[in-house]
Amino acid sequence: MSNCALKASELEVIRGGKAVLTGMSFEIKQGEVFALLGGNGAGKSTTLLTFMGLLKPTRGVAEVMGQSAAEQPDAVRSQIAYLPESAALYDHLTAWENLTYFLSLSQCRPEPKALSDALDAVSLPVESRGKPLKSYSKGMRQKVAIALALLRETPVLLLDEPTSGLDPSAVEDFHDIIERLASNGVTILMVTHDLYGACQVANRVGILRAGQLVDVFEADADGNIEINTVRDLFLQQQVA
């Protein structure tokens, strides 16, 4: 088998009677960070849901670690950690309780040490960890959600607009974590409309328009992406 972690071939997905993805194809290698850029309604979230087996493609296949998401959703989901757009955790539970509960769902019993390590890694203030999430800022919630993704220790991470609504320093912290994960061999697919953040953190950036991947930009040897080219194309797409 190849070292391809995520693979979309000729994906076509219909949602609510409308074709959202119209024959999208791409491959993501293990340990790669791939950012999918697109405007509203371009099909970004649909792509993630299809990879998680929550949406069934009408044509084509979405594969995770060589398994079809549509046919073996359980096996695929055990390989995936997912960070939803608006850190959707339980407001009435504390960070500790949220993490323990969600991990118990994946048949995993976390050690207290692992929990505090993960919360350290996302630098969640120690004094907040025992308080219910309803007292948290959006950035703090996002940190708890990331900690959950880290604790899952899966080979693949799917991120939905991970930096929207975060303050600049939180965005910096987040990018550090992504780079650390990637260097550990975790494959990351993030969908975003944050052009600059995507170019900064990704190995490759794909531009999604009307349900199709129209262009892919690869980072050079230094890990940089020519941001102006990407921006021009992205904005051109927005106008169109």
Element (H, E) at 27: strand 18-29
Distance of closest approach, residue 69 Cβ to another protein, in angstroms: 11
The residue among 16 and 168 lying less far from another protein, judged by its C-beta, is 16
The residue among 119 and 205 lying less far from another protein, judged by its C-beta, is 119
The residue among 83 and 208 lying less far from another protein, judged by its C-beta, is 83
Distance of closest approach, residue 73 Cβ to another protein, in angstroms: 7
The residue among 134 and 238 lying less far from another protein, judged by its C-beta, is 134
Q: Could you tell me whether strands 4-15 and 59-64 are parallel, antiparallel, or unpaired per DSSP bridges?
A: antiparallel
Q: How far is CA 30 from the centre of its chain?
A: 14
User: What Å distances lie between residue 46 and 40, 50, 194, 195, 211, CA to CA?
Assistant: 11, 6, 17, 19, 9
Distance of closest approach, residue 61 Cβ to another protein, in angstroms: 19
> Which of 52, 30, 22 lies closest to 182, judged by CA?
30
The residue among 89 and 119 lying less far from another protein, judged by its C-beta, is 89
Q: At what angle do helices 168-183 and 138-152 cross, to 10 degrees?
A: 10
Distance of closest approach, residue 38 Cβ to another protein, in angstroms: 19
CA distance 96 to 132: 9
Distance of closest approach, residue 105 Cβ to another protein, in angstroms: 4
Dihedral of CA atoms 97, 153, 222, 162 in degrees, nearest 10, equals: -40
Residues making contact with another protein (CB under 8 A):
49, 52, 54, 73-74, 77-78, 80, 82, 84-86, 88-90, 92-93, 97, 100-102, 104-109, 145, 148, 152
